[in-house]
Amino acid sequence: MTFRVVQLSDTHLSGERGYGVRNFDIVVGDVNDARPDLVVATGDLALDQPDNRGDRAFARARFGRLSVPWRALPGNHDIGDDGPDPWMGEPVTEARRSAWCETWGPDWWAVDAGQWVLIGLNSLLFGSGLAAEAEQSSWAAGAAAAAAGERRPVAVFLHKPPWVWGGGEERDQKTMTAAGWAALQECVAAADVRLFASGHVHQFRAAVLDGAASVWAPSTCFISPGPSAFGGAKLVGAVEYRFEGRSVAWRLLRPAGMVDHDVEQLSAGAESLRDGPRYPVSP
């Protein structure tokens, strides 16, 4: 049995500034034709500002065009950022998280995928100190122990990458905090985690480290200009995973017609996309 998953990430959708809508519609058309068993959306689903209800509603409605089962996880642009220096001074809060869950559903979940267990986690909670952090951690430890008891491999999906790898690369806002990563490791310590699938960096990059694969899914919407400090591929697209027996393989999906929008051109000099030029798209 093969269980196929498509990971969409960093869709950054908005009806007022619909920069990423055409790319998103192209990917959705491709996915609806290819009919994977599941789509996982790993955060930054709405454009930029976590309290923008209109963008959140637009993004949720657009995901309604998927005709296959899907699950979502929040990104920093959906519920606020983690760490000591959150983006635009907007930290993750319980109010932002609750608003997201009302629209999108649970921000942590488990799905059976043949022999595998897919565990989706809210990466912004780790190290946040919010009440929901302890709740998620206790749930994740239970899910990890259950998978370990059944000797099943685990794939973890989340927004921010747990770490960076390679010479000279340093942890910053591109990854979870060191304390967050330590807390996540503790939760899933019982499990045989073979894959960490994340988004957030807007680059496609993959490696197998200490027996676990790390895959960074690209954004469906935009890239940042210049060479990658991480050696990743700066392009838009999505990732397909094939879970077969106890193994997993992945490949980049890049349906024809997708455009590598450059975030600096989209924002046209504004500090963030929320203040970029209007580009209305009908719902």
Nearer to Fe ion, 19 or 243 (CB): 19
User: What would the x/- binding string for Fe ion be over residues 68 to 107, using CB under 5 A?
Assistant: -------xx-------------------------------
CA distance 42 to 5: 12
- Our finding on whether 44 is near Fe ion (CB under 5 A) is yes
Task: State in angstroms the smallest separation of the CB of 175 from Fe ion.
Answer: 11
**Residue span binding Fe ion (CB under 5 A) among the ranges 2-10, 34-42, 88-96, 232-240:** 2-10
Query: What DSSP character marks residue 125?
Result: G
- Our finding on whether 261 is near Fe ion (CB under 5 A) is no
Task: State in angstroms the smallest separation of the CB of 200 from Fe ion.
Answer: 4
Torsion angle defined by CA atoms of residues 195, 196, 200 and 205, in that order, rounded to the nearest 10 degrees: -50
**Residue span binding Fe ion (CB under 5 A) among the ranges 118-126, 162-170, 195-203, 271-279:** 195-203
- Kindly report the number of other CB atoms within 10 A of residue 225's CB atom: 10
Nearer to Fe ion, 169 or 244 (CB): 169
Compute the radius of gyration of the chain from its Cα atoms: 17
- Our finding on whether 42 is near Fe ion (CB under 5 A) is no
Task: State in angstroms the smallest separation of the CB of 160 from Fe ion.
Answer: 7
List alpha helices for the chain, DSSP H: 21-34, 53-63, 76-79, 94-104, 131-149, 178-187, 263-267
Angle at 192 between CA 187 and CA 193, to 5 degrees: 70
Question: Using CB under 5 A as the criterion, which residues of the chain lie in contact with Fe ion when the complex forms?
Answer: 10, 44, 75-76, 200
